[in-house]
Structure 1
């Protein structure tokens, strides 16, 4: 029987709709732990329903941190997350509680366990100027400029990849150095090897995809469309992360009368299924140290673990 106190932190990753949130809640209740969000979309205050954030009732059962604390107008990054997570981790450890990091964003978990490239924050004025040029001049023009200023980055990126092309130019404008230079420099990890129990919840694929489709319909019935309508009314930059959350672009198109509700739901479901597939692949190749478990095996591990 494993003692939960043997772990300085528990990391629970997995594809969307895999049941990892319920598992984290069960573990936190048993261990007196604190659940720390490690999902890049659940940080946004504006998208509680559509990102399947824990309900108020669930949050009352155990402490939850880093959920819904960011406005959709913010271009929240892995760097922001690591800084926020460091403060929360210090607080949780000071309380003598078990940190339970849970989510599906591989880059966030990699930043926690491997460190993060030391790219400094890009000033808002520079980011906005690059985005305005992107809209005015088009992505091909900015890719051509990137080829002159950072040939290696331009060669790696698809000429239509608006987000990454803009990001590469923003970094050059802000720092005078290409992204590759910054990626060669990393900060120490918050959770070094040997200090965690890291799990990846891996359900059977067909069952997972069916659950994703069913959950999207439940979200629509629970107010997801109202959320998106309020978000769309803000007129935010469509390149912001919150504006690209699964389901948001398609539902905005529905609200504009461009497609039917059924088409929007179908697109949202398909995008989410494709994302889940990419999550399996990403964790397998990028974080092989995570222990893969079926949902049933993970529940068994929690049940067999000693309480702290």
Structure 2
């Protein structure tokens, strides 16, 4: 099971757990459903290649997730999508809201970023303008991404730019690949024989001529305006950008996303330092996921045993 954790100085321990059914059934026998018998799981690590990851995507069971606050489950997710989740005191069953328009962003919530393989890449705590990034668990895809981004400023900006390009990259792909696809289709059609299909002619429909009334013609004077405005000629680069807006607009979006991600990272580090200065006696902000989650696991197991004894 993959566990993300953040020790908030006021709210407490915030966690996101991601794993398979068997992982969660050890913590909570009531959720999710019982896994299938002899269900095999292809192990996937941060170092696995694309072939193994695609094979696991289609062969492994769905990856589920839970969001907890001080050991209490707030959200249970059947799949992991990039979305925002409010840290409220109520259980939400499969309430996936992509950038939920009804979510009050002034209230504390989590913003989860994932990829097509259901890997959690980044988890952010947000409350109004406050942004704090979770430290990814060791060995996860998010940790590998964070290490790569921290290795150089270029990668820190470049990775989010690539993510931004992915949102509009289909437009670039269509523009670039359209000529090649068109030529390939024409090449395939060249092997087909020519068909001359003559459809039978339909009988002519009867023509109906109705009298048209003759209305009086009124000629009104029309004013003539002759305004000659000499506008300056557009520069060549402006004309080029107007002609290829479908290419540069996604690139511009990607650059903006990259710069915002860099700004959010700096704000996150500044907020963590402020937390540590304001609450020096409390536990470190960068909570140990193993220690925090072990305590939660013990509490959950004890609660499950109490439920069995009552039954």
What is the TM-score when the length of structure 2 is the normalising length?
A: 0.26
Give the number of the structure whose residues are more often strand, by fraction.
2
For the pair shown, the structure with the greater C-alpha radius of gyration is 2
Give the number of the structure whose residues are more often helix, by fraction.
1
What is the TM-score when the length of structure 1 is the normalising length?
A: 0.26
- Of structures 1 and 2, the one scoring higher in RCO (CA 8 A, sep 6+) is 1
